[in-house]
A and B are shown apart, each in its own frame.
Chain A
Amino acid sequence: MDRKEFLTFKRAAAPTEVKKVERRTTTGLAVYSGTFGKKEAMHLLRRTLFGVKVQDMKDFSAKSMSAAVDALLNTSTAVPNEPLNHYGKTMPDPNVAYGATWVNSALDFNFNFQRTMSMKSWWWEMAAKQQSTIMEKMVMFWHNLIPISALEQVDPRMTHIYLKTLRNNAMGNFKSLVRALSVDPAMLVYLNGRYNTKRAPDENYARELMELFTLGKGPDSKYTEDDVKAAARVLTGWNINFLTTPPTATFTLNNHDTTNKQFSAFFNNTLITGRSTATAGTDELDDMLNMIFAQTEVAKFICRKLYKYFVYYDITPDVETNIITPLADHFRNNNYNIKPLLDKLLKSEHFFDPLNMGCVIKDPTTHIAGFCRQWETDFPTDTEQLYNITGYGRAFGQAILQDILDPPSVSGWPAWHQSPQFLRSWISSDSLPKRNQFTDLMLFTGYRRGGYTFIADVFKVTRQFSNPADADTLIADAVAFVLPLELNITEIATLRNNLLPGGIPAYNWSDEWTQANDPGHSSHATALASAKLKLQLLYKSIMNLSEYQLS
Chain B
Amino acid sequence: MKRRLFLKAATAAGSMLPVTLNGLSVRAYANSPLMHLLGRRTGNNGNVLVLIQLNGGNDGLNTVIPLDQYTNLTKARSNVLIQDTKVLKLNGVTGTGLHPAMTGLQGLYNNGLVNIVQDVGYPNPNFSHFRSTDIWMSGSDAKESWSSGWMGRYLDAEFPGFPDGFPNTGAPDPPAIQIGGMVSLATMGTSVNMAMAITDPSNFYGLVNGTTDPVPDTPAGRELEFLRIMANQTNQYGTSIKNAAGKATTLSTKYPTGNTLADQLKIVARLIKGGLKTQVYMVSIGGFDTHSQQVDNSDHSLGAHATLLQRVSDAINAFQDDLTLMGIQDKVAGLTFSEFGRRIMSNGSVGTDHGAAAPMIAFGTGVQKGIIGRNPVIPDTVTVADNVPMQYDFRQIYVSALQDWFGLSKTEVKAAMGGRDFNTLPVFKASRMGIEDFADLVSRLHLYDVYPNPVSGEATFKFFTDGGNVELYLFDPLGNRTHTMASGKHSMGEHEVRVDLYGLRPGNYFYQLSQGNRKYTKVVVVAN
Which residues from chain A sit less than 8 Å from chain B, CB to CB?
Answer: 4-16, 18-19, 22-24, 312, 314, 354-361, 423-424, 427-430, 432-433, 437, 440, 444-445, 484-485, 490-491, 493-498, 501-505, 508, 511-512, 523, 525-527, 529-530, 533-534, 537, 540-541, 544-547, 549-550
Cα–Cα distance between A7 and B285 once the two chains are bound (Å): 8
List 19 other contacts, CB 8 Å, given A428-B234, A533-B134, A547-B224: A6-B180, A7-B264, A7-B284, A8-B260, A354-B218, A355-B219, A357-B220, A360-B223, A423-B223, A491-B200, A494-B180, A497-B180, A501-B55, A503-B55, A503-B56, A508-B129, A512-B128, A530-B134, A540-B183
Our pick among B185, B202, B284 for the contact of A533 (Cβ within 8 Å) is: B185
Cα–Cα distance between A546 and B202 once the two chains are bound (Å): 12
Cα–Cα distance between A10 and B262 once the two chains are bound (Å): 11
Kindly provide the distance from the CB of A23 to the nearest chain B CB, expressed in whole angstroms: 6
B225 at the A/B interface (Cβ < 8 Å)?
Answer: yes
Cα–Cα distance between A527 and B145 once the two chains are bound (Å): 10
B417 at the A/B interface (Cβ < 8 Å)?
Answer: no
B14 at the A/B interface (Cβ < 8 Å)?
Answer: no
Our pick among B131, B201, B205 for the contact of A526 (Cβ within 8 Å) is: B131
CB pair A497–B182 under 8 Å, yes or no, is yes
CB pair A546–B227 under 8 Å, yes or no, is yes
Contacts A433-B235, A530-B130 given; does A18 touch B182 at CB 8 Å: no
Our pick among A19, A496, A503, A525 for the contact of B287 (Cβ within 8 Å) is: A503
CB pair A504–B145 under 8 Å, yes or no, is no
Q: Which residues of A contact B332 (CB under 8 A)?
A: none
- B residues 158-184 with Cβ under 8 Å of A? 163, 179-183
CB pair A433–B183 under 8 Å, yes or no, is no
CB pair B289–A503 under 8 Å, yes or no, is yes
CB pair A501–B213 under 8 Å, yes or no, is no
Q: Which residues of B contact A12 (CB under 8 A)?
A: 214
CB pair A18–B224 under 8 Å, yes or no, is no
Cα–Cα distance between A272 and B480 once the two chains are bound (Å): 85
CB pair A502–B284 under 8 Å, yes or no, is yes
Task: Please name 7 pairs of A and B residues whose Cβ atoms are closer than 8 Å in the assembled complex, sorted by A.
Answer: A359-B218, A432-B231, A484-B220, A502-B287, A527-B130, A546-B228, A550-B227
Q: Which residues of B contact A15 (CB under 8 A)?
A: 212
B229 at the A/B interface (Cβ < 8 Å)?
Answer: yes
CB pair B231–A501 under 8 Å, yes or no, is no
Q: Which residues of B contact A355 (CB under 8 A)?
A: 218-219
Cα–Cα distance between A491 and B199 once the two chains are bound (Å): 9
Q: Which residues of B contact A497 (CB under 8 A)?
A: 180-182, 286
Total B residues in contact with A, Cβ cutoff 8 Å: 67
Kindly provide the distance from the CB of B495 to the nearest chain A CB, expressed in whole angstroms: 48
CB pair B55–A7 under 8 Å, yes or no, is no
Our pick among A9, A22, A490 for the contact of B221 (Cβ within 8 Å) is: A22
Our pick among A359, A508, A523, A534 for the contact of B223 (Cβ within 8 Å) is: A359
Q: Which of B179, B182, B216 has the most CB of A within 10 A?
A: B182
Kindly provide the distance from the CB of A308 to the nearest chain B CB, expressed in whole angstroms: 12
Q: Which residues of A contact B219 (CB under 8 A)?
A: 22, 24, 312, 314, 355-356, 359
Q: Which residues of B contact A550 (CB under 8 A)?
A: 220, 223-224, 227
Our pick among A433, A484, A534 for the contact of B234 (Cβ within 8 Å) is: A433
B209 at the A/B interface (Cβ < 8 Å)?
Answer: yes
Q: Mark B98-142, 1 if CB is under 8 A from A, else 0.
A: 000000000000000000000000000000111101100000000
CB pair A549–B213 under 8 Å, yes or no, is no
CB pair B55–A493 under 8 Å, yes or no, is no
CB pair B267–A9 under 8 Å, yes or no, is yes
Contacts A530-B130, A546-B231 given; does A14 touch B182 at CB 8 Å: no
Q: Which residues of B contact A541 (CB under 8 A)?
A: 181, 183, 199
Kindly provide the distance from the CB of A425 to the nearest chain B CB, expressed in whole angstroms: 11
CB pair A18–B229 under 8 Å, yes or no, is yes
Q: Which of B179, B181, B226, B284 has the most CB of A within 10 A?
A: B181
CB pair A6–B202 under 8 Å, yes or no, is no
Our pick among A7, A10, A357, A529 for the contact of B181 (Cβ within 8 Å) is: A7
Our pick among B209, B213, B218, B286 for the contact of A503 (Cβ within 8 Å) is: B286
CB pair A496–B225 under 8 Å, yes or no, is no
CB pair A504–B222 under 8 Å, yes or no, is no
Considering only CB atoms, which chain B residue lies closest to A530 in the complex? B130
Our pick among B130, B192, B228, B285 for the contact of A534 (Cβ within 8 Å) is: B130
Q: Which residues of B contact A7 (CB under 8 A)?
A: 179-181, 201, 260, 263-264, 284
Cα–Cα distance between A527 and B134 once the two chains are bound (Å): 11
Considering only CB atoms, which chain B residue lies closest to A544 in the complex? B199
Which residues from chain B sit less than 8 Å from chain A, CB to CB?
Answer: 53-56, 128-131, 133-134, 145, 147, 163, 179-183, 185, 191-192, 199-203, 205-206, 209-214, 216-231, 233-236, 257-258, 260, 263-264, 267, 284-289, 291
CB pair A546–B224 under 8 Å, yes or no, is yes
Cα–Cα distance between A49 and B156 once the two chains are bound (Å): 40
Cα–Cα distance between A23 and B228 once the two chains are bound (Å): 20
CB pair A502–B286 under 8 Å, yes or no, is yes
Our pick among B130, B214, B217 for the contact of A22 (Cβ within 8 Å) is: B217
Contacts A7-B179, A497-B180 given; does A502 touch B214 at CB 8 Å: no
Q: Which residues of B contact A24 (CB under 8 A)?
A: 219
CB pair A4–B287 under 8 Å, yes or no, is yes
Cα–Cα distance between A511 and B230 once the two chains are bound (Å): 40
CB pair A529–B234 under 8 Å, yes or no, is no
Q: Which residues of B contact A361 (CB under 8 A)?
A: 223, 227
Q: Which residues of A contact B202 (CB under 8 A)?
A: 11, 490-491
Considering only CB atoms, which chain B residue lies closest to A547 in the complex? B224
Cα–Cα distance between A2 and B258 once the two chains are bound (Å): 11
CB pair B199–A494 under 8 Å, yes or no, is yes
Cα–Cα distance between A218 and B101 once the two chains are bound (Å): 72
Q: Which residues of B contact A526 (CB under 8 A)?
A: 131, 145
Q: Which residues of A contact B258 (CB under 8 A)?
A: 10
CB pair B228–A501 under 8 Å, yes or no, is no
Kindly provide the distance from the CB of A374 to the nearest chain B CB, expressed in whole angstroms: 19
Q: Which residues of B contact A494 (CB under 8 A)?
A: 180-181, 199-201
Cα–Cα distance between A14 and B228 once the two chains are bound (Å): 13
CB pair B211–A14 under 8 Å, yes or no, is yes
Cα–Cα distance between A23 and B227 once the two chains are bound (Å): 19
Cα–Cα distance between A355 and B203 once the two chains are bound (Å): 24
Contacts A501-B129, A508-B128, A547-B224 given; does A11 touch B183 at CB 8 Å: no
CB pair B200–A545 under 8 Å, yes or no, is yes
CB pair A504–B289 under 8 Å, yes or no, is yes
Closest 9 CB pairs of A and B: A502-B55, A502-B286, A497-B181, A358-B220, A494-B181, A359-B219, A4-B287, A546-B227, A429-B234
Kindly provide the distance from the CB of A489 to the nearest chain B CB, expressed in whole angstroms: 12
Considering only CB atoms, which chain B residue lies closest to A2 in the complex? B287
Cα–Cα distance between A424 and B222 once the two chains are bound (Å): 11
Kindly provide the distance from the CB of A422 to the nearest chain B CB, expressed in whole angstroms: 10
Q: Which residues of A contact B56 (CB under 8 A)?
A: 501-504
Kindly provide the distance from the CB of A313 to the nearest chain B CB, expressed in whole angstroms: 9
CB pair A19–B225 under 8 Å, yes or no, is yes
Q: Which residues of B contact A508 (CB under 8 A)?
A: 128-130
Cα–Cα distance between A9 and B230 once the two chains are bound (Å): 21
Cα–Cα distance between A544 and B255 once the two chains are bound (Å): 31
Cα–Cα distance between A505 and B212 once the two chains are bound (Å): 33
Contacts A11-B205, A22-B221 given; does A498 touch B182 at CB 8 Å: yes
Considering only CB atoms, which chain B residue lies closest to A5 in the complex? B260
CB pair A19–B181 under 8 Å, yes or no, is no
Cα–Cα distance between A384 and B383 once the two chains are bound (Å): 63
Kindly provide the distance from the CB of B242 to the nearest chain A CB, expressed in whole angstroms: 13
CB pair A445–B199 under 8 Å, yes or no, is no
Q: Which residues of B contact A13 (CB under 8 A)?
A: 209, 211
Kindly provide the distance from the CB of A369 to the nearest chain B CB, expressed in whole angstroms: 21
Q: Which of B202, B267, B288 has the most CB of A within 10 A?
A: B202
Considering only CB atoms, which chain B residue lies closest to A515 in the complex? B128
Q: Which of A24, A537, A541 has the most CB of B within 10 A?
A: A537
Kindly provide the distance from the CB of A480 to the nearest chain B CB, expressed in whole angstroms: 15
Cα–Cα distance between A16 and B232 once the two chains are bound (Å): 12
CB pair B217–A23 under 8 Å, yes or no, is yes
Kindly provide the distance from the CB of A446 to the nearest chain B CB, expressed in whole angstroms: 11
Cα–Cα distance between A448 and B235 once the two chains are bound (Å): 26
